[in-house]
Amino acid sequence: MQECLIKAEEALKAANLCYDHGLHDSCASRCYYAMFWAAIAALEWAGSPSQKWNHSGLSSVFGKELVKKRRLLSPTLAGRLGDGYDLRRLADYERRPVGKKRTKRVLDGARKFVACVKEVVTK
């Protein structure tokens, strides 16, 4: 779990650096991976077996286990993971760049996501 939190923090730091330097596509991608690793940390903390997660499976299990079943995290937070994934796909695979405004929203969301997960898993 701790390694996943470290990866989440590193991805979030990289996202901040990318945003500060106007690298919006890279920022969006790093934001998603910050949330991805934080979600894995939360699931491991909750007792889910360590495994290779795919993106849709992680989002689904995160929502079912930590939001609906245990009510540890808000549905809004779970939605940020899905939104981050969608924006990362645009940033990584589409020709048109992700704009600054959308990048700022996903960066703010990733910051909140990682902070909320850290708060839950370090209680």
Q: From the CA atom positions of the chain, what is the Rg in Å?
A: 14
- Per-residue confidence (pLDDT) for residue 56, from 0 to 100: 83
pTM (predicted TM-score) = 0.94
Residue ranges of the alpha helices (H) in 46-99? Answer: 55-62, 75-93
Band (120; pLDDT cuts 50, 70, 90): very high
Contact in structure between 108 and 16 (CB atoms under 8 Å): no
Band (54; pLDDT cuts 50, 70, 90): confident
Which is more confident, 123 or 81? Answer: 81
Q: For 100, list phi and psi in degrees, rounded to 5.
A: -60, -40
2-121 belongs to CATH 1.20.120.330: yes
Crossing angle between the packed helical segments 2-20 and 100-121, to the nearest 10 degrees: 160
- Per-residue confidence (pLDDT) for residue 123, from 0 to 100: 79
- pLDDT of 7 higher than 80: yes
